[in-house]
């Protein structure tokens, strides 16, 4: 028997198995392409000949495969072996997929924990690797000591969909940041300004702007978006026109920035010109679309 079985040894699964080994846990691994087991075997991992053998080797099964369909393709034929085990699925997915997999795991007689990895493989095992978990609290309490080998664990609650909800919401913030950075670099680059010259200004500007986000949380939780507003939506909507016009004039695509302009205009039309930008969250929560 091993402490943990890791199923799926892509870039992330390999890092997960390596971190468990580094912290002194015994690990059994399985991967569709056996070549990927070699480096881990050299570090002390046991290599299972089949998924059933991997599941049978350990009370704690960590799956990290491409998508949820892959998890089903791999685990469905071996479902009987899951009875009495805890399945931790760290594959990226949606809250709905996680809840459905929780039901499926219960039908197999397994405890289920869903997870979201907020890290890239080289970060795994370090404290800056945030791993979100949700699902069976009892199973999480039993196994958190082992799971802590992967980074900083955060348990969010019994609803298995919570980890992917937090995961994709954090990714939404990241992609919003990347979207703006791409536009900024396209504009300045087209003007011949080296990225290396502009980037320090951009990173310090973004750091300064993130300082205002806790106020958004207060506004959203209190419902008051109009007290002590220093940069109201009406002003920002007018200034945003210049970003769109300048991009067009420079021959830079506006495909990333027009949706935000549409939302700002919708906010102004809805009578929120004096409110803070945080008031746009409520508009996003309605199914109406500006574009
Ligand atoms: N890499 C990251 O930066 C990162 C960060 C956070 C979360 N994640 C998430 O972690 C999960 C794994 O990512 P990764 O970077 O490890 O991906 P990857 O390097 O592409 O590895 C994919 C894994 O899925 C397996 N697989 C794919 N299709 C399969 C099939 N039909 N049957 C059996 N196995 C199959 C692959 O097996 P083979 O080796 O046989 O192809 C491999 O083990 C994803 O859900 C990803 O979103 C990744």
8 and 151 housed in the same domain: yes
CA–CA separation, 21 and 5 (whole Å): 11
For 250-274, give one letter per residue: b (16+ CB within 10 A) or e. Answer: eebeeeebeebbebbbbbbebebbe
Please choose from 5, 6, 9, 12 the residue to mutate so as to test ligand 1's pocket, defined by most ligand atoms within 8 A of CB. Answer: 12
pLDDT number for residue 76: 97
Q: What is the pLDDT of residue 44?
A: 98
Q: Is residue 65 part of a domain?
A: yes
Nearest to 278 by CA among 202, 206, 214, 183: 214
71 in any annotated domain:
yes
Q: What is the CATH number of the domain that holds 20?
A: 3.40.50.720
Residue 67 alpha carbon to ligand 1 centre in Å: 7
Count of domains forming the chain: 2
Same domain, 130 and 253: no
Which protein residues touch ligand 1 with a CB less than 6 Å away?
8-13, 31-33, 36, 64-66, 70, 73-74, 91-92, 117, 120-121
Is the distance from CB of 134 to CB of 157 less than 8 angstroms?
yes
Q: Where a domain ends, among 159, 178, 206?
A: 159
Question: Same structural domain for residues 196 and 136?
Answer: no
Q: What is the pLDDT along the chain (291 residues), one digit of tens a residue?
A: 999 999 999 999 999 999 999 999 999 999 999 999 999 999 999 999 999 999 999 999 999 999 999 999 999 999 999 999 999 999 999 999 999 999 999 999 999 999 999 999 999 999 999 999 999 999 999 999 999 999 999 999 999 999 999 999 999 999 999 999 999 999 999 999 999 999 999 999 999 999 999 999 999 999 999 999 999 999 999 999 999 999 999 999 999 999 999 999 999 999 999 999 999 999 999 877 655
Query: Both tokens of residue 222?
Result: 């209190």
- Whether residues 175 and 143 share a domain: the answer is no
CA dist 19 and 191 (Å) reads 46
- Whether 289 is in a domain gets the answer no
Domain boundaries, position 57? 4-159
Beta carbons within 8 Å of 23's beta carbon, 6+ residues apart: 125, 149
Give the β-pairing of 111-118 and 130-135. Answer: antiparallel
- Rounded to whole angstroms, the Cα distance separating 249 from 253 reads 10
Q: Rounded to the nearest 5°, which phi and psi values hold at 276?
A: -80, 165
């Amino acid at each position: 028997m091993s402490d943990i079985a890791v199923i799926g040894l892509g870039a992330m699964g390999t890092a997960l198995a390596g971190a468990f080994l580094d912290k002194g846990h015994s690990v059994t691994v399985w991967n569709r392409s056996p070549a990927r087991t070699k480096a881990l075997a050299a570090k002390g991992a046991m290599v299972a000949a089949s998924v059933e053998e991997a599941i049978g080797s350990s009370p704690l099964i960590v799956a990290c495969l491409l998508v949820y369909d892959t998890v089903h393709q791999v685990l469905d034929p071996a479902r009987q072996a899951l009875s009495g085990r805890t399945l931790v699925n760290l594959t990226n997915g949606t809250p709905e997929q996680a809840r459905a997999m929780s039901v499926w795991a219960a039908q197999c007689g397994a405890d289920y924990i869903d997870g979201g990895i907020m890290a890239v493989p080289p970060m795994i095992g370090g404290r800056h690797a945030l791993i979100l978990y949700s699902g069976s609290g009892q199973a999480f309490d039993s196994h958190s000591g082992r799971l802590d080998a992967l980074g900083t664990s955060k348990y969010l609650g019994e609803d298995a969909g919570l980890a992917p909800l937090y995961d994709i919401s954090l990714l939404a913030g990241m992609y919003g940041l990347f979207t703006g950075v791409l536009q900024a670099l396209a504009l300045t680059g087209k003007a011949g300004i080296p990225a290396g010259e502009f980037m320090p200004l951009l990173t310090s500007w973004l750091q300064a702007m993130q300082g205002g986000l806790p106020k958004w949380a207060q506004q959203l939780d209190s419902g008051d978006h109009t007290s002590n507003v220093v940069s109201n939506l009406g002003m920002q909507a007018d200034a945003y026109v210049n970003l769109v016009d300048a991009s067009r004039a420079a021959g830079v695509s506006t495909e990333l920035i027009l949706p935000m302009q549409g939302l700002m205009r919708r906010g102004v039309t809805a009578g929120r010109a004096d409110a803070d930008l945080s008031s746009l969250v409520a508009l996003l929560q309605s199914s109406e679309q500006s574009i």
